[in-house]
Amino acid sequence: MDIFELSNRFDVKLNSFSSSADTKTNENLYNIKLDEYEKSLLLTEAQNTIFKAIYLSGSEADESSRKALSKLLRVTKCDQLSVNQTNLDNSKRFKLPLDVGFINQENVRVLSIGTYLSNRFIPVVPIKHDEYNRDYKNPFRIKLDNEAYRIESQYSSGDTVEVISKYNIEYWIRYYKIPNPIILEYLGSVEIGGKNSPQEIEFNDIILEEILNKAVELAVNRIGASNRQSEAQ
């Protein structure tokens, strides 16, 4: 489904949906007209909602979910920052890609020589800052010989992570990127998700149908709410 078909199908569904809502609720929703920018906003919001729902429903366990998200899957090594403002020993900070949506696997590759783990990957264990501070001297809970720890803290930045490891390491993640915004035409100086022109659509037609339905639902609900607010005034 290309952007022209997507736009036309949006209009058809919107008029069908609004006519049905008008009949059931007596609201003045008939023959709603939205421009391409407004439709792009609604489609992108709906896409992000569907993306989150698919991932949270179990993207790895379900074959249909894996297929739906396959174009969004990325594996990358994160850049280590040269400055790391922290008071924790063996702490290292890494910069996440700007397009990270959900991280579903993380590991570190040991670069230190003189250890049997050299050039091998070891798991990363998420741990709260307070919990690590409480247990870091307990070898039964904190196993720095064969694990690394990602610190979860209210002070953590959204675009960086703090990893504790006794080794010199690389931090690798397997993640689903944020989908490209759905933009139906060139927007000029206006942007959606940092973009102002049509992007590759990264979901198949089955998921696009769900996105269309959700976008139309958002449009009808918001226009209906706006009409009710105007009538109340």
What is the residue-level pLDDT of the chain in tens, covering all 233 positions? 899 999 999 999 998 876 665 555 555 555 678 999 999 999 999 999 999 999 988 766 678 788 889 999 999 999 999 876 677 889 999 999 999 999 999 999 999 999 999 999 999 999 998 898 888 888 788 899 999 999 986 555 678 999 999 999 999 999 999 999 999 999 999 999 999 999 999 999 999 999 999 999 999 888 765 554 455 44
Residue 29 belongs to domain spanning: 3-69+203-232
- 171 and 108 in a single domain? The answer is yes
Task: For strands 148-152 and 121-128, give the pairing.
Answer: parallel
Say how far apart CA 71 and CA 51 lie, in whole Å.
Answer: 12
- The answer to whether residue 123 is domain-embedded is yes
Say how far apart CA 11 and CA 19 lie, in whole Å.
Answer: 12
Q: Which pLDDT does position 180 carry in this prediction?
A: 97
- 87 and 170 in a single domain? The answer is yes
Q: Which pLDDT does position 29 carry in this prediction?
A: 57
Task: For strands 91-95 and 73-80, give the pairing.
Answer: antiparallel
- 87 and 51 in a single domain? The answer is no
- The answer to whether residue 193 is domain-embedded is no
Q: Is 32 helix (H, G, I), strand (E, B) or coil?
A: coil
For the record, the structure tokens of 13 come out as: 């569904």
Residues 6+ apart with CB under 8 A from 76: 97, 172, 173, 175
- The answer to whether residue 108 is domain-embedded is yes
- 13 and 100 in a single domain? The answer is no
- The answer to whether residue 144 is domain-embedded is yes
- The answer to whether residue 197 is domain-embedded is no
Say how far apart CA 111 and CA 133 lie, in whole Å.
Answer: 25
Q: Which helix (H) or strand (E) holds 125?
A: strand 121-128
For the record, the structure tokens of 61 come out as: 């366990």
- The answer to whether residue 185 is domain-embedded is no
Q: Which pLDDT does position 228 carry in this prediction?
A: 47
Look up the pTM and report it.
Answer: 0.83
Say how far apart CA 151 and CA 137 lie, in whole Å.
Answer: 16
